[in-house]
Structure 1
């Protein structure tokens, strides 16, 4: 072979064409199905009938940032509302590595074993650069995800404060309308999301592990003050004694806090999500809390307070979206930002200019 005809080591030979897995007709049918718009009334009917596929589609709809989807999303939520508010809402938080997903799977399997229908709304952290999310909760809860009486919905946190998915509150309503009587919300566990989750659940559970060096830090206000129960996870093997010691320390810390308005004294217990020891006791503790707050009237009063809170939060969100999507603001925003960067005007003056422009055009 001549030098001019020398074949590069990087050259490729023609291979064998891959067999056609789907016929073009089937492929077109699938594409047409995915593009097909489903009516709000149809979605509502299917959700109320317990259709989990329709529930997933509805949650995707309400999570959409497309303003064209807003009216349809609100119609679905309003249609499902009369069938909602019949569940126990449980918030579960804890630092990464505490075993939240493993605990939720063991806890969820215990509940479905009792005949309960469990929906897990898991908030996964998103990258601030790519806005991508791992969304690995379905992988980590491989047994629960196969359970007919369970529904797991991972959602990317996006730009929401502290990692709470933007539409988690509305997703709760849809899950309740679909017949799920226990809603579990798993937070990212990075510190800020706990306040938002606390404002949408009936019972707030804090997962801890022994030997992490934070037993004495339990005396600090914040997350401990919000917790209705502290559960020491991974109480198995050589860690059982450490878990018992941590339980004593956290119990002491909790007694430094003033009484809760619910009249409930937060409790500490231990469990192992791997062996399932103590999982039943955790649920018994939640039932005790529900009974206590229902009898006192606190349960319903808290729900009403939360509804008002989320109405105001929705107003804030809608105003923010309207502001940044307004044509006049889109036109002026970069110019005003540049003026602030050049120290021609203060940040406060820049904000005032944009707000005045928004008010004039609305």
Structure 2
């Protein structure tokens, strides 16, 4: 007779099912005990530099933590890894949902590992504004790349960060570089605002498109088009090849209308199929041409200096915001002030000014 379950349970487990014999109870206890142990910042750094993927994963988790108690330890790890970083190529990949970003990244990543590259994929999944949860399904979608010993896929939730870039993606890049990854791929959510943030932390910005979406001449948003160093029309296979080639010509025409880039690089447009892998190798060829040009004219290095300065200021803004909302007095006043604003007892601007003045008087 079936086991009776709570009416609130979503489980419908059949009776008689037991853990498989291959599960060793001692091993399970060992893993549980290991997870409870919190390694020091020195141990994490030593593990990262030694090529311990577990140490890298735990360090990224530490860096992503919003617990203020973890901040000092995270900074120690990042600062110790910094001298071993900055030796990779950072590639940002964006495109609207449904363009095939995950499939493309898997094909592209496999192409790079076949060339002897060590690839880290930092994929950012959007967090629900209702439940605040994320699916984090990139490892499932990239089932071949995830098994590649020269690849590392780290999905992260965007949290409350506008635009869908994880709060600590920039620091995660440093950790991955210190580990030894020479190619870092950052996948955006593709919701519009994330492109600017990703562009500020990568060397090469790739825009994925599909034909027949009705926006070839509209060119999505002009700002995103201007940021792109290359446009790749994905899903150029089967009956869609002709449409993809037509879209390529149209996008090329649009790109010529934009102001020349400071780097001296002329953005290129190409087609590919992430399914058949046709055109994937050409994408890497385009990136290497870009690197040769920008390193030769010193733009590559100047851009990285500007990015470091930008992220210093962004970190200051982020920390001020975090300190403000974690302040005890502000937390006590916030709810009542919100209600006053909702009831039109005080304007939103005056309420904000009142809270800020209270905070700075602390």
Would the TM-score normalized by the shorter structure come out above 0.5? Answer: yes
- What does 1:155-234 correspond to in 2, within 5 Å? 155-218=156-219, 220-234=221-235
- Residues 18-57 of structure 1: CA distance to partner in whole angstroms, max 9, x if unpaired? 5797687655443322111101001001101111111111
Please name the residue that 1:286 is paired with.
Answer: 287
Instruction: Decide which moves more: 260-269 or 27-36.
Output: 27-36
Unpaired runs of 5+ residues, structure 1, are: 1-9
User: Which residue of structure 1 aligns with residue 346 of structure 2?
Assistant: 345
1:230-269 aligned within 5 A:
230-269=231-270
Taking the aligned partners of 1:23 and 1:94, their CA distance within structure 2 comes to: 45
CA distance in 2, matches of 1:235, 1:89: 25
Q: 1:134 to 1:219 in 2, by over 3 A?
A: closer
2:39 corresponding residue in structure 1: 38
Q: 1:114 to 1:29 in 2, by over 3 A?
A: closer
Could you tell me the TM-score, scaled by structure 2's length? Answer: 0.93
Instruction: Give the alignment's Cα RMSD to 1 decimal.
Output: 2.1
Please give the alpha-carbon distance, in whole angstroms, between the structure 1 residues aligned to 2:133 and 2:248: 38
State how 1:291-330 maps to structure 2 within 5 Å: 291-330=292-331
Aligned to 1:259, the other structure's residue is in SS state coil
Equivalent residue, structure 2, for 1:277: 278
Which of 332-341 and 276-285 deviates more? 332-341
Alignment partner, residue 123 of structure 2:
122
Secondary structure of residue in 1 paired with 2:218: helix
Distance in 2, Cα, partners of 1:235 & 1:26: 48
* Structure with bigger gyration radius: 1
- Give the drift of 1:340: 1.7
| Distance in structure 2 (CA, Å) of the matches to 1:306 and 1:11 | 55
Q: How many residues align?
A: 353
The alpha-carbon deviation at position 249 of structure 1 amounts to 0.2
Aligned partner of 1:50 in structure 2 is 51
Question: 1:144: Cα distance to partner?
Answer: 0.5
2:75 matched residue in structure 1? 74
Tell me the CA shift for residue 360 of structure 1.
Answer: 1.2
- Per the TM alignment, residue 247 of structure 1 is displaced from its structure 2 partner at its CA by 0.6
SS at 2:82 equivalent: helix
Give the whole-Å Cα distance in 2 for the aligned partners of 1:128 and 1:357: 29
Change (3 A) 1:56 1:220: closer
> What SS is found at the alignment partner of 2:338?
helix
- 1:6 equivalent in structure 2: none
Change in 2 beyond 3 A, CA 1:283/1:16 = closer
TM-score in terms of structure 1 length: 0.93
Contact 1:236 1:272 (8 Å CA) reproduced: yes
Q: Is the 8 A contact 1:218 1:254 kept in 2?
A: no
C-alpha distance in structure 1 between counterparts of 2:66 and 2:297, whole Å: 40
- What is the alpha-carbon distance in structure 1 between the residues aligned to residue 320 and residue 29 of structure 2? 40
Quote the residue 2:11 is aligned against: none
Q: Distance in 2 between matches of 1:89 and 1:190?
A: 21
Name the structure 1 match of 2:85: 84
Q: Distance in 1 between matches of 2:132 and 2:216?
A: 35
